[in-house]
Structure 1
């Protein structure tokens, strides 16, 4: 089964995001908290609120903050380029599912060698979240998939209409931010992504 990762975009207040996440958590596989403006205390509180609202802890992935993930009982952490390397993170938190954000095939290969559990590769298509930055495209995505020994999740400008092309490269799933978080009906949007993913042979 191809995965869908929902990435928070920092535009909702905590109450709004908890409501959104609780509504779509039955449709998506993982929910990443990418809240760069929040303190550790605020992130822990948000994680706890999500769990109380019914989001399984195993579905929650905290961006960068291993300490928050451990303290709040989240299932995983997403490591950025400036974070601890996966091998070092594994020694600190052996029970967490470790993701690594990568932007080139060689970085995807290195993430596997360092024993990350998966990597996020992007951005694949032009994205409002990365204005002015050139997209990697499907060819680089396919190359990264070939280089990676671990599941690779594609991110960046992915819509239900192009998800099939993304997954045809061999990617193990897609990550979505504004496509769900900024949708007028997040549940309908998440359902459209799930239908697109399920349509892939």
Structure 2
């Protein structure tokens, strides 16, 4: 169980780090996070299955593991959920057949958020909010667009360029939590980085009302 209740903290693998290294980081940080996303597009189904086994052997809770796109691997490993992209099976179809999964959708616009909610997604991941090293040539969405999206009344996790210093801004915009990749995985001390984020998440937005 995550040590804070109100705001979510999702960690997303970067598809580049050796899984053994990712596992060692997770051993230290998993009590502080809500969800662990395996976003390993280059891996085969067999390799992804073996990755989940490796995490399970290290006592990392499978209930926190979210498999990106690969419903087949999620099923056989009995993880907590799946994260769907624009090319994935629609969440309503997945939800009807596999109600045990928590189903997230990765979106990039308000309209996609409307569709995700209508199709039964449990939450959305929206971004990128701030300038991001992974998308240097794409303009960030910003907190104003995030604030509009959060009016849809579907749990919204913000992603992209999020640091401990700007986390409060996304919470003020109405986000239900954050998703982080390099801010933790590339940190010199991932556990210290996690604690910097969770300190802000436990405080909430620090204000009443949303970002205007």
TM-score between both structures, scaled by the size of structure 2: 0.92
The count of residues paired between Structure 1 and Structure 2 equals 200
Q: CA deviation at 1:104?
A: 0.8
Match of 1:155 among 146, 159, 163: 159
Asked if the contact 1:127/1:157 (under 8 Å) is kept, the reply is yes
| Structure 1 unmatched runs, 5+ | none
- The answer on 1:174 being equivalent to 2:163 is no
For 2:41, the equivalent position in structure 1 comes to 36
Residue 69 of structure 2: aligned partner: 64
Hey, what's the Cα distance between the residues in 2 that align with 1:120 and 1:22? 24
Output one character per residue of 1:144-168: Cα deviation in whole Å (capped at 9) or x when no partner. Answer: 101x232000000000000001101
Gaps of 5+ in 2: 1-5, 207-212
Other-structure match for 1:142: 147
Please show how residues 113-132 of structure 1 align to structure 2 within 5 Å: 113-132=118-137
Match of 1:4 among 1, 9, 27: 9
Structure 1 position 90 matched with structure 2 position 95: yes
Instruction: Pick from 180, 196, 199 the counterpart of residue 200 of structure 2.
Output: 196
Greater mean alpha carbon deviation, residues 48-57 or residues 63-72: 48-57
RMSD, aligned α-carbons: 1.0
Q: 1:112: Cα distance to partner?
A: 1.1
User: Which residue of structure 2 aligns with residue 104 of structure 1?
Assistant: 109
